[in-house]
Copies of this chain bind each other. A is one copy, B any other.
Amino acid sequence: MSYKTENDFDQLSTEIDKVITRIQKHTKSKFQPVQDIIDTTIQNNGKLLRPRLLMMSAMFGNYESERMVNLASAIELLHMATLVHDDIVDDATLRRNMPSVQSQFGKDMAVYTGDYLLSKALTVFKPSDYQDDQILSLSKVISRICESELLQYFNRYHFMSVRHYLRVVSGKTAALFSLSMYLGAIESGCSESLSKTLGKIGYEIGIAFQIIDDILDFKQEETIMGKTVQNDVKKGYYTLPVIYAFEGETLQLDQLTTSEILEKIVERKGLEKSRILAQKYTEKAFKRINLLPDNPSKDTILEVAARLLRRSY
């Protein structure tokens, strides 16, 4: 297993820049306030992980820049829409150190901005440029993300099993990671079998990514994560560290204070156990990546997976 340098990791930066330009151009609005909101959302929007995964995967086949840039833009716009709507539900004031759309512009505006971004996701690509089944699978993942957000929402203040937690994470995060890698491959002419393998890698990376996000929710200062600390527990979202801390207990979690829950997590090593599960998924992905055919993209995918586990920012 080789780890590559910063430069190699950023070999896709030209393509990613094209995605940013494509999104900016496509969401241009004649109304300045709408434009401000979109710019803020793009600025807040981190590392474009899903477009990166899609493109790395596409490079196993016959990479066609424009088709892949448009598809990746659609996926990123869809992701941006979910971020904006999640902020409403989370009551988040910060998103990656920047004020969230809803804290800057109000919930009402956040509802429409999310819808607008989603509508733009649907028009940034020409359906006929891709296989019909693939367009449908993208729409189905949107449904799945919504269903998982709903499932998670209805389970606030309730104890979930690890299995139940993984079902939520699988729908709300891993499905889009998986689809990004699968679509990049299949739409670049990779075989069904190779595309499926890349899809599974995306799935495993996605699960690890979300578990680590949930761990960081407990560990980081507000200024590091750009999120309010222990936001999840306060809002009744009991993620993996809570689940590990309370496994086998008959306690009613909704009768405990936030600090009682936090004490128990430390005592029962909820964070360490969660990290082990994230590592397990990352290692599954590593194994699968190592079996991929030789390709410059292979090491880049390995590096991304390794970074996700290492990240503490």
Contact = CB atoms under 8 A, between A and B. Distances in A.
Interface of A: 29, 31, 33-34, 82, 85, 88-89, 107-109, 111-116, 118-120, 122-123, 126-128, 132, 135-136, 139-140, 142-143, 145-147, 149-151, 153-154
24 contacts: A29-B147, A31-B147, A33-B154, A34-B147, A34-B150, A85-B111, A85-B112, A88-B107, A107-B107, A112-B149, A112-B150, A115-B142, A115-B149, A116-B147, A116-B150, A118-B118, A119-B139, A119-B142, A119-B145, A120-B143, A122-B122, A123-B136, A126-B132, A127-B127
B150 A31 contact: yes
Q: How many copies of this chain?
A: 2
Closest 6 A/B residue pairs (Cβ): A122-B139, A116-B146, A119-B143, A119-B142, A128-B132, A89-B108
Overall SS of chain A's interface = helix
A270 to B, nearest CB: 26
* Residue among A88, A115, A116, A151 having the largest count of chain B Cβ atoms under 10 Å: A115
Contact of A31 (B33, B122, B145, B151): B151
